[in-house]
Amino acid sequence: MPQKKALIIGSGVAGIASAIRLQLKGYQVSVLEANSYPGGKLTEVRQGAYRFDAGPSLFTMPQYVDELFELAGKNPRSYFNYKRTDESCRYFWDDKTRIIAWDDIEKFGQEVEYKIGVDKNVVVKRLQSSAFMYETAGRTFLEKPLNRLKTWLTKDVVRAILRLHKLSLFSSMHEDNSRILQHSKLVQLFDRYATYNGSDPYRAPGILNIIPHLEHNIGTFLPEKGMHQITLSLVALARELGVEFNFNQQVEEILVRNKKAYGVVTHKGIIEADLVVSNMDVTPTYRKLLPNEKPPERTLSQERSSSALIFYWGVKSTFSELGPHNIFFSEDYKKEFEELFSGLTPPTDPTIYVHITSRDIPGDAPQGCENWFVMINAPAHKDHNWEELIPLYRKKIFEKINRILNTNLEVLIENEGTLTPQDIQIKTSSLGGSLYGTSSNSRFAAFLRHANNSSKIKDLYFCGGSVHPGGGIPLCLLSAKIVSEICPKP
């Protein structure tokens, strides 16, 4: 009997992980990628002597990457190495306040107590609450398909439901943080975790305060060759297992007959398969690839997550006050998110994120220089004129960083690249360049994400940041795991 075939549309990290898991399950897997390279947002940029991770820059929950190698009977360390970092982020405010979020929670608490006078135990309490949320509800609702009855009939779900009043479902992240954290700067620091799934902390439910648990209690990690090493290592594993990658091959349509997916159409013709997995944003999957099928409008019409405007700067200097991850906060955080989700323009006073890998990965910049990945949150692209907006926000970034670091950054920039929400949309087929599909700006958003399979079309599955359980590398990898578990055995 011939081996059953599976097609993966897109080679983002979830698509690659789905390919590995389905190949191990017994399918012959082919990945179809419109670009000339794998990884989706998890790729790299090279400018002269500088290398940058193009998109995702924070690595948490590395066990989900390791698990893929272990499932294949391989030693992850033979492919992929990383180390736990000493700090997660450095925070800067205009009034010269600076806080380092140390990896050691006790040390982080002491830093907060020394810098802004808040008892260190307040930080400990916040992170204990985050851990409780994750252990009570996070594992169950992130690792299981929510559209399957058996998920809801487990003891873990019953236990979580009985504790709903402790999970901050009915307050916002900001309200939950304000109740616990006592100081506006500390509240702002923890509110920023809403941006990890492109949401607004003043509207997103308090249960999203599980996110700090992943970063502070479990830890942040650095791949020894940068984030792009995750993509390269997983592609190498997939190829060893027999997965076929087809680049520069854009899927034009998913073929459906008698409510069953049986293949795809590319510019090279029809490719038939026993099942199809889309790693493409779920909205363009329906709008473009399933033109004859009725789309789930309620799901597709949800508010999009934020996007990003990114600068890649080769900087001819080093800054000892900066760490690998740095945040320069806006003065009015609430106004920033109101502007961001109005969709009209990026915020007038944007919070700035600066990621520098070169001190840990010396080859990423020439000696005595640094590679700055500089990002501000931006609305999903509609009709924005990014050619006009880029110099405007470039100037705003210089003004804030120069003021806080007492420098003249512009004269130190040796080379520059940019990535706009429109670019992200073009490169990754993410609607509007939204980084995480839909936002989580309602208490029911997690339950309104598209499931990992179609309820109307047999043998059609979905993975990646636009579907359950959400965006970010760990959740994308979990979406691949769910897909492999609900797919039939070949």
Percent pLDDT > 90 in the chain is 80
Domain boundary among 215, 242, 262: 215
Say which residue the tokens 């390791």 belong to: 66
Residues making up the chain, counted from first to last: 490
**Which helix (H) or strand (E) is 118 found in, with range?**
none
Are both 312 and 404 inside the same structural domain? yes
Say which residue the tokens 């109101």 belong to: 338
Peptide bond preceding 469 in cis form (omega within 30 of 0)? yes
Q: Quick check: helix, strand or coil at residue 376?
A: strand
307-315 and 260-266 strand pairing: unpaired
The pLDDT-based confidence of 441 (bands split at 50, 70, 90) is confident
Which pLDDT score is estimated for 149? 47
Are both 141 and 196 inside the same structural domain? yes
**How many separate domains does the chain show?**
3
Residues 269 and 1: beta-carbon distance below 8 Å: no
The pLDDT-based confidence of 476 (bands split at 50, 70, 90) is very high
- Pull the structure tokens for residue 36: 């000339």
pTM: 0.94
Looking at residue 251, its amino acid is V
Contacts of 343 (CB under 8 A, 6+ apart): 379, 380, 382
Are both 346 and 411 inside the same structural domain? yes
pLDDT for residue 301 is more than 50: yes
Are both 267 and 283 inside the same structural domain? yes
Could you please report the per-residue DSSP string of 261-291?
A: EEEEEETTEEEE-SEEEE-S-HHHIIIII-T
Are both 356 and 324 inside the same structural domain? yes
Residue 427 lies in a domain: no
Are both 397 and 465 inside the same structural domain? no
Q: Quick check: helix, strand or coil at residue 304?
A: strand
Q: CA dist 469 to 349, 381, 446, Å?
A: 31, 24, 7
Which pLDDT score is estimated for 147? 55
Are both 293 and 232 inside the same structural domain? yes
Mean of per-residue pLDDT scores for the chain: 92
* Half-sphere exposure at residue 19, Cβ-oriented, CA atoms within 13 angstroms: 33
pLDDT for residue 403 is more than 90: yes
Could you please report the per-residue DSSP string of 137-164?
A: IIHHHHHS-TTSHHHHTSHHHHHHHHTG
Are both 126 and 211 inside the same structural domain? yes
Burial tier of 96 (Cβ tally within 10 Å: 0-12, 13-18, 19+)? exposed
The pLDDT-based confidence of 157 (bands split at 50, 70, 90) is low
Residue 437 lies in a domain: no
Say which residue the tokens 């007492």 belong to: 406
Are both 359 and 261 inside the same structural domain? no
The domain containing residue 312 runs over which residues? 306-379+385-419
Query: For the residues 9-37, what does the mean pLDDT come to?
Result: 98
pLDDT for residue 144 is more than 80: no
Nearest CA to 374 out of 416, 411, 414 is that of: 416
Residue 336 lies in a domain: yes
Measured in whole angstroms, the distance separating CA 12 from the mean position of its chain's CA atoms is 11
Domain boundary among 215, 239, 267: 215
The pLDDT-based confidence of 234 (bands split at 50, 70, 90) is very high
d(CA 105, CA 92): 19
* pLDDT tens column, 117-129: 999 999 999 999 9
Query: For the residues 474-479, what does the mean pLDDT come to?
Result: 94
Q: Which residues of 239-251 are buried (b: 16+ CB within 10 A; e: fewer)?
A: eebebebeeebeb
Query: For the residues 96-113, what does the mean pLDDT come to?
Result: 96
Residue 464 lies in a domain: yes
d(CA 41, CA 428): 7
Contacts of 37 (CB under 8 A, 6+ apart): 43, 247
Residue 93 lies in a domain: no
Work out the number of other CB atoms within 10 angstroms of the CB of residue 60.
20
Domain boundary among 174, 192, 215: 215
Secondary structure percentages of the chain, helix, strand, coil, to 5 = 40, 20, 35
Say which residue the tokens 């252990």 belong to: 135
* Half-sphere exposure at residue 290, Cβ-oriented, CA atoms within 13 angstroms: 24
Most confident of 1-5, 146-150, 379-383: 379-383
Which pLDDT score is estimated for 152? 44
pLDDT for residue 315 is more than 70: yes
d(CA 334, CA 202): 7
Which CATH number covers residue 30? Answer: 3.50.50.60
Strand partners, 419: 310
pLDDT for residue 65 is more than 60: yes
Are both 134 and 193 inside the same structural domain? yes
Residue 127 lies in a domain: yes
Say which residue the tokens 């003065």 belong to: 331
The pLDDT-based confidence of 136 (bands split at 50, 70, 90) is confident
Query: For the residues 404-428, what does the mean pLDDT come to?
Result: 97
Query: For the residues 411-431, what does the mean pLDDT come to?
Result: 96
Are both 126 and 174 inside the same structural domain? yes
Peptide bond preceding 295 in cis form (omega within 30 of 0)? no
Work out the number of other CB atoms within 10 angstroms of the CB of residue 455.
10
Residue 101 lies in a domain: no
Query: For the residues 256-284, what does the mean pLDDT come to?
Result: 97
Query: For the residues 164-186, what does the mean pLDDT come to?
Result: 84
pLDDT for residue 268 is more than 80: yes
Percent pLDDT > 70 in the chain is 92
pLDDT for residue 134 is more than 90: no
Higher pLDDT: 148 or 174? It is 174
Which pLDDT score is estimated for 196? 92
Residue 286 lies in a domain: yes
Work out the number of other CB atoms within 10 angstroms of the CB of residue 452.
29
- DSSP classification of residue 51: E
pLDDT for residue 151 is more than 70: no
pLDDT for residue 463 is more than 70: yes
82-84 and 50-53 strand pairing: unpaired
The pLDDT-based confidence of 439 (bands split at 50, 70, 90) is confident
Which pLDDT score is estimated for 159? 62
Are both 23 and 74 inside the same structural domain? yes
